[in-house]
């Protein structure tokens, strides 16, 4: 069943399985688009929410790659729903097979977070499985292809899990992406971080900026003031 979400800037049709979550909102808020940016790629587009949000922050051309056909179709429909077909385009492809005539100024991604192991009980819903677990796209697949598609000094924005940060740093180093900014996200002030927001630059200069942590809730079901402002944009 499809339902419509009305945000501050755009309309979005989606199903329950395709619904965007806090990860997407956090990443959208974290991304800063410079005026000189001309071409952006969103990896794992889903229903297109990041592409649509970026369209109201920049005049750049925005491309999406989505391996799942249903989500690809929904993203196409949402682009048309918002009359953005002139600047936004999405492809139904495996990232590893995606090629483009140009290199991108910026790449953004909210990828699958979880590794797959033989002892793990996985969702029987294939759409959910591909979105959450590395069955079609591993972390190394992601970083290596970002490096392949990103221009010199291009920017990569990513949201992921803190327990994968060591691996992310290793892969960034392996594929010539320099970690430039990180921000840890905590459910509560006393809780451990459960997300990390990351900015990297291909062939960038060394120098890491660790931002103040972002706290989601001050009490159960009550957002902090900063999170209210972030949610307010949606």
Model confidence at 127: pLDDT above 70: no
Average pLDDT (191-206) is 97
pLDDT at res. 106: 98
- Who's near 9: CB < 8 A, 6+ residues apart? 52, 53, 56, 233
Is the pTM higher than 0.75? The answer reads yes
Question: Residue 26 belongs to a domain with what CATH number?
Answer: 3.40.50.150
Burial 150-184 (b: 16+ CB within 10 A, else e): bbeebbbbbbbebeebeebbebbeebebbbbbbbb
Model confidence at 122: pLDDT above 60: no
Query: 217: domain range?
Result: 2-232
How far apart (Å, rounded) are the C-alpha atoms in residues 136 and 17?
18
Model confidence at 31: pLDDT above 80: yes
pLDDT at res. 162: 96
Average pLDDT (29-49) is 96
Domain count, the chain: 1
Kind of pairing between the strands at 11-15 and 2-6: antiparallel
Contact predicate 79/100, CB 8 Å: no
**Average pLDDT value for the chain:** 90
pLDDT tens digit sequence for 60-78? 999 999 999 999 999 999 9
């Amino acid at each position: 069943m499809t339902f419509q979400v009305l945000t501050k800037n755009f309309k979005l049709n989606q199903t329950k399985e395709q619904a965007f979550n806090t990860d997407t909102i956090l990443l959208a808020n974290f991304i800063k688009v410079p005026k000189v940016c001309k071409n952006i790629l969103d990896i794992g587009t889903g229903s297109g929410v990041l592409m649509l949000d970026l369209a109201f922050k920049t005049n750049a051309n925005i491309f999406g790659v989505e391996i799942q056909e249903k989500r690809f179709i929904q993203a196409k429909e949402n682009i048309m729903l918002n009359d953005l077909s002139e600047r936004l385009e999405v492809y139904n492809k495996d990232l590893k097979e995606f090629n483009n005539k140009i290199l991108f100024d910026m790449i953004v991604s909210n990828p699958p977070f979880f590794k797959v192991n033989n002892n793990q009980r996985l969702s029987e819903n294939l759409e959910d499985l591909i979105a959450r677990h590395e069955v079609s796209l591993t972390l190394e697949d992601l970083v290596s292809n970002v490096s392949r598609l990103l221009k010199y000094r291009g920017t990569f924005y990513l949201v992921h899990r803190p327990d994968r940060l060591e691996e992310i740093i290793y892969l960034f180093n392996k594929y010539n992406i320099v970690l430039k900014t990180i921000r840890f996200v905590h459910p509560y002030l006393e809780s451990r971080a459960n997300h990390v927001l990351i900015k990297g630059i291909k062939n960038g200069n060394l120098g890491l900026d660790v931002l103040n942590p972002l706290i989601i809730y001050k009490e159960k079901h009550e957002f902090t003031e900063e999170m209210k402002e972030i949610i307010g944009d949606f």
